[in-house]
Chains A and B, each alone.
Chain A
Amino acid sequence: MNKRTIAALALILPGMVAFLFFNIYPILYSIYIAFTNAKLGNFPIQAPEAEPLSFVGLENLKWALSDPKFRSAFVWTWLFVATSVTLKVGVGILLSVLYNNKYVKGKIFYRALLIIPWALPLLFSVMVWRFMFDPVVGPINILLRDIGITNPPDWMTSVTWGFIALNIIEVWLAYPFMMTVITSALQSVPDTLIEAAIIDGASYWQRLTKVVLPIVSKPIAFATILTSAASFQYFLVPFVYNAGLFEDRFLLLYGYRKAFGSSMPHYGRAAVILLIATIVLAIYMFINMKITKLQEGAKA
């Protein structure tokens, strides 16, 4: 090894060791736990009277595949990705078009204000929305009662309405990101191109679909992939909003609850749930990256 490599190693090592020890090692250790019977009594510390910690092979995996709650969480997680990503991209495009419209006065000012949700801690935002959706004192239900709905939905304890609420929250959390990406893409469309289309007699709709969208579709695809990964990893919002209610709706939450949210924690099963979630996400991201050649942009 030459001197330069040794120096580089010495400079990289402190951060890398910490990262490997607290991030990579736990992941590898989790993979091991996923193949053991780790549960209350034998993990983390073996209690004398409990069943000893032992390797059980694919037992946990078999359990997960036949567990109705796991199946439900798996399906609902993808359902959430589908609904929330559609909404996020739709709302992002609508907002970008609205706040990029030449008829709107004071665009820069509005855009600066619209970023506010981004500047707020996630926990705070969830708390705000938890209040918004409160069945009794929350303004949303007050408004619904005002317009004559005597029995407004219970956003807190009904799974269906709660799921809708989570979609709304996710759209609100993600729109600044979507809007920023799409707006900068829209602004990169050359004015001359649009003027040319106008001269050729293209309508507003034609200009949008034939001229603008082909140019902005790549950044939108980029934003869509990243935001769909965020949707798949949705954890903190349902966790804070109502962890018990959404236990069998989100994979990460189900894994977490199996280990830390139950009176009979089963760490092996929790680890296998989280492992499956991670592998699925990795495959999903890999496929998307290959399709869109996203990593080329990131390498620059």
Chain B
Amino acid sequence: MKFKLEFPKRKDEVVKSLLATLLALFVLALLLFPVYYMAMLSVKPSGALATTEIDLIPDKITFSNYKNLLFGHIEGLIKTTDFEINTKSGIIKDSLNRYQVVLKDATITGSYSSRFTLIDTSILERKGGEDRPEKDGTQLIVRGEHIKLEAKQIESTGAVKNLKIFAKKMTITVENPKEAPIDLSKFTKVGENTYEAQNIEITLKDGGIITTGEATFSARNFAFIRLAKVGGDVPDYMKRSLLIASLTVILTLLFVIPSAYAFSRLKFFGREHVLYFYLMFTQVAGGLGIAGLVALYGMLVKLHLTNNIFVLPVIYAAGNVPYNTWLLKSYLDSIPPDFDEAALVDGAGYLQIIRHVLMPLALPGIATVVIFAFIGGWTELILANLLLNQENYPLTVWLYTLLANLRSISWNQFAAAALIFALPVFIMFLLAQNYVRSGLTMGGLKE
């Protein structure tokens, strides 16, 4: 076969084609930008959210937001007088804002009663101290001789005085060079109020609030250290969401497969009416669902079924009946009835026919129902939010409460949480794209 490249015949055709394609690409980028931006936000370090510019490509990709949500980290609070911090980067801020010291490759030592928060920390060495286990797996060590920890981030609670600092590079910004409580004679002036020095050791009598990046922290004769797990509760929410979604799938199949078979193969009185009713219901289901909510809530309160995670799948599956019965019935209609009629003649029961003849043939249709039901159970918010208490929250309700109280979490972690929630749905949709798409267009039911 001859390969033939088709060149556009005229020059203005090329220009038109180029412009049209560029426009198509631009519109595509515009429409997908929100999702892209959210995904990008989730792989940026927590707290690194610019308010002045749109950052299209992150400088540094990190999965720490996901890690934190899924596994959590250990946070330590230590009280000690004698300490030493080794860090690659750190900042010491005067509590009166007279100066700020930026450190590279530094050792900070002090002997001043102070408290530090160590984020994402673990113990490297330890000598002495009394263990006092507390509830929720919190570890408390009291009056130890020596301890050495590593941490992703260290912050002092309040200002720490009498610091001795050695650093490979030290940059000091002062408010007023003449009145600065630091001896600046060994520094070179690099900016208006900025001084710099290499390999230098200073003492900082007034000290300041210490913040460092990755660091090791050692303490002698510390008063106490408390190590507690922070975050990492997403797996709990996921487990509940998964449970609800799986039960919804099972119940939906139990409800839908037999009735789809009956509607597709058996002629009986009232068949058309029920089918028509089911179809009409699917068109207004969203609004009716809310309309029935008041009564449903009343019913469940009277039956003492609120805050029960097993009630939700039953309600979801019941709501799935009309649409999915239609969907599966349409699929069964496309399978020639020869096989199951032959089985019927051979004396097989209806349930046997469904189980052994139709189910294998209708697998793609059933798969579609499974995916619909799973997505429905995984993403339902309104009813779960109304009925469940905090200890039973699935992912959706947790995300919703996060949105209502955004100060409790960084936007980056929020984006990661949202993506953890959306990803299973997205993957399932891709797997069943063609079926779901034709099904959605048929019923017109996106929301």
Taking the complex as formed, is A23 at the interface, i.e. its CB lies under 8 A from any CB of chain B?
yes
Q: How far is the CB of B148 from chain A (nearest CB, A)?
A: 38
Please give the distance in Å from A117's CB to the nearest CB on chain B: 7
- The docked-state distance in angstroms from the alpha carbon of A132 to that of B444 is 27
Docked-complex contact B293 and A145, CB < 8 angstroms: no
CA distance in complex: A134, B413 (Å): 16
Determine if A121 and B292 form an interchain contact, defined as CB atoms under 8 angstroms apart: no
Of B53, B274, B294, B379, the contact of A259 (CB 8 Å cutoff):
B294
Contact B314 A22 (CB under 8 A): yes
Query: From residue 279 to 299 of chain A, which have CB atoms closer than 8 A to chain B?
Result: 281-282, 285, 295, 298-299
Within 8 A of A (CB), among B164-199: none
A177 to B444, CA, bound (A): 8
A275-B291 contact, Cβ under 8 Å, with A121-B379, A172-B34? yes
The answer to whether A236 touches B381, judged by C-beta atoms less than 8 angstroms apart, is yes
Question: Is the pair B290, A44 in contact by a Cβ cutoff of 8 Å?
Answer: no
Q: Could you give, for residues 47-91 of chain B, a 1 whenever the CB lies within 8 Å of some chain A CB and a 0 otherwise?
A: 001111110000000000000000000000000000000000000
Top 6 closest pairs, chain A to chain B, by CB = A15-B255, A26-B292, A226-B444, A29-B295, A119-B429, A103-B20
Determine whether A110 belongs to the interface, using a CB cutoff of 8 Å to chain B: yes
Contact with B along A32-66 (1 / 0, CB 8 A): 11000010000111000000000000000000000
Interface-side segment among B111-119, B150-158, B203-211, B315-323: B315-323
- What interface size band does chain B fall in? 35 or more
| Sample of 20 A–B contacts (CB below 8 Å) | A11-B261, A18-B255, A18-B321, A22-B314, A23-B289, A26-B295, A26-B296, A38-B298, A43-B298, A45-B301, A105-B21, A115-B433, A116-B32, A119-B426, A123-B421, A137-B49, A236-B447, A271-B295, A278-B284, A285-B284
Which of chain B's residues 1-47 have a Cβ closer than 8 Å to chain A?
A: 13, 16-17, 19-21, 23-25, 27-28, 31-35, 37-38, 41
Which residues on B sit within 8 Å (CB–CB) of A12? Answer: 258-259, 262-263, 274
Q: Is B360 an interface residue (CB 8 A)?
A: no
- A118 and B446 in contact, given A16-B321, A22-B315 (Cβ under 8 angstroms): yes
Task: A285 to B287: give the CA distance in the assembly, Å.
Answer: 12
Q: B374-394 CB contact bits vs A (8 Å, 1 = yes)?
A: 010011011000100000000
Complex CA–CA separation, A291 to B371 (angstroms): 34
State the main secondary structure of chain B at its contact with A: helix
Mask, A266-284, CB within 8 Å of B = 1, is 0100110011011001100
Instruction: Flag whether A7 is at the interface (Cβ < 8 A).
Output: yes
A-chain residues with CB within 8 Å of residue B447 when the two chains form the complex: 122, 173, 230, 233, 236
A235 contact set on B, CB distance < 8 A? 286-287, 290, 382
- Total A-B Cβ pairs within 8 A: 287
A residues less than 8 Å from B399 (CB atoms)? 123, 127
Q: A4-B266, A21-B318, A239-B382 are in contact. Are A177 and B440 (CB under 8 A)?
A: yes
**Whose C-beta in chain A lies nearest to the C-beta of B326?**
A298
Most buried by B among A9, A128, A136, A259: A128
When distances are taken between beta carbons in the complex, the residues of chain B under 8 Å from A256 are 290, 293
User: Do B299 and A29 touch across chains, with their CB atoms under 8 A apart?
Assistant: yes
Does the CB pair B291–A103 fall under 8 Å? Answer: no
Our pick among B27, B289, B314, B322 for the contact of A98 (Cβ within 8 Å) is: B27
Asked if A181 is an interface residue, CB under 8 A from chain B, the answer is: yes
New contact pairs (16) apart from A4-B266, A145-B52, A252-B287, CB-CB < 8 Å:
A5-B269, A12-B262, A15-B321, A15-B325, A22-B296, A23-B318, A114-B32, A115-B433, A116-B32, A130-B403, A131-B414, A139-B33, A259-B294, A271-B291, A278-B287, A299-B276
Those of A1-27 within 8 Å (CB) of chain B: 4-5, 7-9, 11-12, 14-16, 18-19, 21-23, 25-27
Q: Does A129 contact B (CB under 8 A)?
A: yes
Within 8 A of A (CB), among B247-262: 251, 254-256, 258-259, 261-262
B297 contacts A23, C-beta separation under 8 Å: no
Query: Known interface pairs A131-B411, A132-B37, A230-B446. Does A33 touch B294 (Cβ–Cβ under 8 Å)?
Result: yes
Looking at A11, A16, A106, A142, the one whose CB has the most chain B CB atoms below 10 A away is A11
In-complex Cβ contact of B283 among A9, A181, A285 (8 A): A285
Interface positions, chain B 414-447, Cβ under 8 Å from A, are 414-415, 418-419, 421-422, 425-426, 429-430, 433, 437, 440-441, 444, 446-447
B269 cross-chain contacts in A, Cβ below 8 A: 5
| A229 to B280 CA separation, bound complex (whole angstroms) | 12
Question: Does A99 have its Cβ within 8 Å of any Cβ on chain B?
Answer: yes
> Chain A residues near B426 (CB, 8 Å)?
119-120
Contacts of A127 in B (CB 8 A): 38, 399, 403, 414, 418
- Residues in chain B near residue A107, CB distance under 8 A: 24
Q: Which residues of A contact B (CB under 8 A)?
A: 4-5, 7-9, 11-12, 14-16, 18-19, 21-23, 25-30, 32-33, 38, 43-45, 95, 98-99, 101, 103-107, 110, 113-124, 127-132, 136-137, 139, 142-143, 145-146, 172-177, 180-181, 184, 222-223, 226-227, 229-230, 232-233, 235-236, 239-240, 252, 255-256, 259-260, 267, 270-271, 274-275, 277-278, 281-282, 285, 295, 298-299
- Residues of chain B contacted by A184 (CB below 8 angstroms): 441
Given contacts A19-B322, A21-B318, A110-B28, contact A117 B288 (CB under 8 A): no
Contact assessment for B396 and A26 in the assembled complex, using a CB-CB cutoff below 8 Å? no
B350 interfacial contact with A, CB 8 Å: yes
B302 on the interface (CB 8 Å rule)? yes
Smallest CB gap from A99: residue in B: B24
| Contact across chains for B437 and A180 when beta carbons are under 8 A apart | yes
Q: Is B273 an interface residue (CB 8 A)?
A: no
Q: How far is the CA of A233 from the CA of B279 in the complex (A)?
A: 17
Closest residue of chain B to A177 (Cβ to Cβ) is B446
C-alpha gap A124/B422 in the complex (Å): 6
A residues within 8 A CB of B317? Answer: 18
Are A11 and B291 within 8 A (Cβ)?
no
Q: Report yes or no: A282 in contact with B444, Cβ–Cβ below 8 A.
A: no
Is the beta-carbon distance between A27 and B415 smaller than 8 angstroms? no
CB pair B418 A124 closer than 8 Å? yes
B265 to chain A, nearest CB (A): 9
Tell me the minimal C-beta distance from B15 to chain A in angstroms.
9
Which residues of B lie under 8 Å from residue A172 when comparing CB positions? 31, 34
Cα separation A28 to B302 with both chains bound (whole Å): 17
In the docked arrangement, what's the CA distance between A63 and B386, Å? Answer: 26
Question: A4 contacts which chain B residues (CB < 8 A)?
Answer: 266-268
- B25, B296, B446, most chain A CB atoms within 10 A: B446
Q: Which residues of A contact B293 (CB under 8 A)?
A: 26, 256, 259-260, 274
